[in-house]
Structure 1
Amino acid sequence: MPISPPAPERAPRLLTHLQQFTSLQTGQLDAARRLLRQHPSLPLDSFGISSSIYPEPGRPQHNLILRLGAHDTAGITAWARALGTEPRIDGARHRLNTVLDGIGIWASATVPETDYDMDQAVFVPTADDVTETIRGLLVTDYGDDGYLLITGHPPLRDVLAVTSAYYRETCGVRLRAFDGRALADNISRSWGQFVAYPTREEWQLRSVPEDTPGALPVTWMYARDGHTQDIGAPVHCPTCGRPSRGLDYDSETGDRVHLCPAPVCRHRWHVDHCPTSPGLAPDADQRAALTFH
C-alpha cells in the first residue's frame, strides 16, 4: 500500500487532539512529540492512548497508539523500521509493538481481502479455534444473532444435547422451546470454509458448495427463539411460592418478566419487582387454596 506522509504542519493539530484525552500521561505526550519531531514524513492520521492496570510482565503500563489507514501495512513497516524493529505479521494483520522511553508504541493495519490469498488461508478448525468442545463437537457462539455453529452434520439429538449443554455450562441458563415452537425447527445444515482472515484467532466462515476444496459440513442452531431459565439464582413466585428460573417477555410492554413453572399458576411478574426469599411467598394455606382454583 502506498505511504502518504502527513505535511509537517499537521503535527500541532495531532498534538492538540492528543491533549484532549483526560487520562493522558506526560510520558505519552513526550513520546508523541519525539515521534513527530524525528519522523515527520511517516504516515499518521491521529494518536490514541491506552493504559493497563495490570500490564503483562516486561510491558509498559502506558501506551501510545499510532492510527494509520486501516490497510496501510506499508506504513506499519515504515514505522517499525524507523523505531529499530520489524512489524509482527499474523495472517493479514500487521502490527507495530515496541517501547519508546518507557511508553508502549502500538499500531496495526490489515491487508484487504482483495489483496490477500484467501484460498491459502482456508484451514480445518481444532478445539483451539472455537468456544467449546461438547460431546466431541466443536461449538462456537457465532455473531450477534444468537447462532451456535457446530462442526459436522451430527444427528438431531446430538445438536439439541450440545445446545442444551452450551447454554447450561457456558451461559448459566436452561433453554426451553418458545411459544409452541420446537427447537429442532431452528436447525439448518450447510457447507463452509473456515478462513484465517484477518488472523486465525479472528477467522471467518465462507458458505460454499459441498464440492468446494476445503469445504466442511457445518450445522447452525438459531437458539434465540427459546425460553432461557437462569439456573444460578432462583426467585420465588409471589403468588404460589414455587422456585422459578423461567424468563419471558410481556406481550404488551415487551418488558422482561419471570414466569412461574407451576401449571396451576403460570403467574408472570416483572424481573425488577419480585421476592427473592421463600419467606415472602404465600403460606401453605394460600398455596393449597390456589391449587384448587
Structure 2
Amino acid sequence: MPLSPPAPERAQLLLAQLERYGSRENGQLAIGRRLLLDYPDLPLTGFAISSSMCPEPGRPLHSLILRLGEHDTDGITAWARALGTEPVVDGARYRLDTVLDGIGIWASATIPEAEYDVDAAVFVPTGDDVSFTLRGLLVTEFGEDGDLVFVGHPPAREVLAVTSAYYRDICGQRLRAFDGHVLADSIIQGWGRFVAYPTRADWRLRSVPQDTPGALPLTWMYAQEGDTQDVSAPVHCPACGRSSRGLDYDQEAGQRIHLCPSPDCRHQWPVDDSPEPAPDLEASEHRQDQCAALAAP
C-alpha cells in the first residue's frame, strides 16, 4: 500500500491534538513532538496516550499510540524501521511495539481479508482455541446471548448435557424450555472453517459447504431460545421438604423467591438475603484461650 505522509498543515493539527493531552501525559508529549519533527514523511493520522497501573516486567509504564490507517501495514513497517526495529507480524496483523526514551511506541494495522490468503489460514482448533472442553467436546461461546458452538456432530443428549453444565457452572443459571419450545430443537448441525484471521487468537468462524477444503462438522446450540432461571445452593422446601435450587423474582413483593420443583407442591418462599452475621471475635478469642489452656502440660 502507498505511504501517505501528513501534509504540513496536518502535522500542525496532529501537534495540537497531542498537546490536548498535556494534563494527563507523562513524557508522551515530548516524544510525539520529536516523532513529528524527525519523521515528517511517515504516515500518521492521529495520536493517543495510555498508561498502565501494573505493567508487565520489562514493559513501559507510559505509551504513545500512533494512529495509522486500519490497513496501512506498509506504514507500520516504515515506522518500525525508522525507529530501528521490525514490525511484529502475527497472521494478518502488523504491530509496532518499541520503546523510545522510556516511552512505549505502539501502532497496529491489518491486511484486508480480501487481500489475505484465507485458505492458508484455515486450522483445526484445539482446546487452547476454544472457550472450554467438557465431556471430551470442544465448545466455544459465540454472540452475546449465551449461544454455543461445538466442534463435531455429537448426539443431542451430549449437547444438552454440556449446555446445561455450562449454564449451571459458568452462568449460575438453569436453562429450561420456554413456552412449549423443546431445547433439542435449538440444535443445528452444519459445517464450517476456523480461520486464523486476523490472528489465531482472534480467529473467525465461517459457515461453508461440507465439501469445502478444511470444513469441519459443527453444531450450534441456540440457547437464547430457551428460558434461564437463577439457581442457588440447595435448600429444602418448607412445605414438602424437597430439595430445591430454583430461584425467581416476585415483581409485586420486589424480592427473590425459592421455587419448589415438585409438581405437586410448587411452593414459593422468600430468599433470605440478609448478610451473614460477622464472627464474634471476642468469643473466638475466648475459645482459642480455652484450647490453649487444654493443650498446656
Q: TM-score range by the shorter chain?
A: 0.7 to 0.9
Match of 1:54 in 2: 54
Question: Could you tell me which residue of structure 2 aligns to residue 282 of structure 1?
Answer: none
Looking at structure 2, the residues matched to 249 and 177 of structure 1 have their Cα atoms a distance apart, in angstroms, of 20
Tell me the equivalent position of 2:8.
8
Tell me if structure 1 keeps the 8 A contact 2:233–2:245.
no
Report the aligned-residue RMSD.
3.1
| Matched AA of 1:113 | E
Deviation string, structure 1 residues 200-231 (Cα, Å, up to 9, x no partner): 01111111111111110000001123333334
Where 1:15 maps in the other structure, the secondary structure is helix
1:130 & 1:190 partners in 2: Cα distance? 18
TM alignment of 1:7-156, pairs within 5 A = 7-21=7-21, 24-156=24-156
Q: Which moved more, 1:217-226 or 1:22-31?
A: 22-31
Q: Match of 2:273, SS?
A: coil
- Give the C-alpha shift of residue 25 in structure 1: 1.6
Which residue is 2:259 aligned to? 261
CA distance in 2, matches of 1:194, 1:38: 43
Task: For residues 109-164 of structure 1, give each alpha carbon's deviation from its aligned partner in whole angstroms, at most 9, with x where no partner exists.
Answer: 00001110011111100011001011111110012243201100000110001111
Task: Determine if contact 1:46/1:66 at 8 Å carries over to the other structure.
Answer: yes
Q: Distance in 1 between matches of 2:151 and 2:176?
A: 23
Task: Give the aligned partner of residue 290 of structure 1.
Answer: none
Deviation at 1:73, TM superposition (A): 0.2
Q: Which residue of 1 aligns with 2:273?
A: 276
Partner residue in 2 for 1:246 = 247
Shift of 1:165: 1.6
Distance 2:23 2:246 in 1: 43
SS at match of 2:55: coil
Matched residue pairs, number?
270
Provide, for residues 243-263 of structure 1, a one-character-per-residue CA deviation record: whole Å limited to 9, x for no partner: 76434797xxxxx98564235
Q: CA deviation at 1:265?
A: 5.2
Percent identical among aligned pairs is 64
TM-score, with length taken from structure 1? 0.82
Question: Offset at 1:48?
Answer: 1.0
Give deviations 1:176-212, integer Å, cap 9, x for gaps: 2223322111110000011100000111111111111
* 1:284 equivalent in structure 2: none
Query: Which structure would you say has the larger Rg?
Result: 2
One-letter amino acid of the structure 2 residue matched with residue 68 of structure 1: L
Give the structure 2 partner of residue 286 of structure 1.
Answer: none
| Aligned counterparts of 2:250 and 2:30: Cα–Cα separation in 1 | 54
Letter aligned with residue 195 of structure 2: V
Distance 1:10 1:187, change over 3 A: same
Q: Which runs of no fewer than 5 residues in structure 1 stay unpaired?
A: 251-255, 280-293
What SS class does the counterpart of residue 224 from structure 1 fall into?
A: helix
Retained in 2: the 8 A contact 1:76–1:95?
Answer: yes
CA distance 1:259–1:25, shift in 2 (3 Å): same
Does the C-alpha gap of structure 1 residues 106 and 123 become closer, same or farther in structure 2, counting only changes over 3 Å? same
Residue 150 of structure 1 aligns to a residue in which SS? strand
Partner SS for 1:133: strand
**Partner Cα distance (2:235, 2:150) in 1:** 33
Deviation at 1:49, TM superposition (A): 1.4
Residues 243/162 of structure 1: CA separation in 2 closer, same or farther (3 Å cut): closer
Cα offset for 1:34? 0.7
Q: What is aligned with 1:283?
A: none
Matches within 5 A, 1:178-197: 178-197=178-197
CA contact (8 A) 1:96 1:108 kept: yes
Give the Å deviation of 1:20. Answer: 3.0
Residues 278 and 17 of structure 1, relative CA distance in 2, 3 Å threshold: closer
Q: Distance in 2 between matches of 1:187 and 1:257?
A: 34
Q: Which runs of 5+ in 2 are unaligned?
A: 277-297
Distance 1:175 1:100 in 2: 53
User: Structure 1 235/43 Cα, relative in aligned 2: closer, same or farther at 3 Å?
Assistant: farther
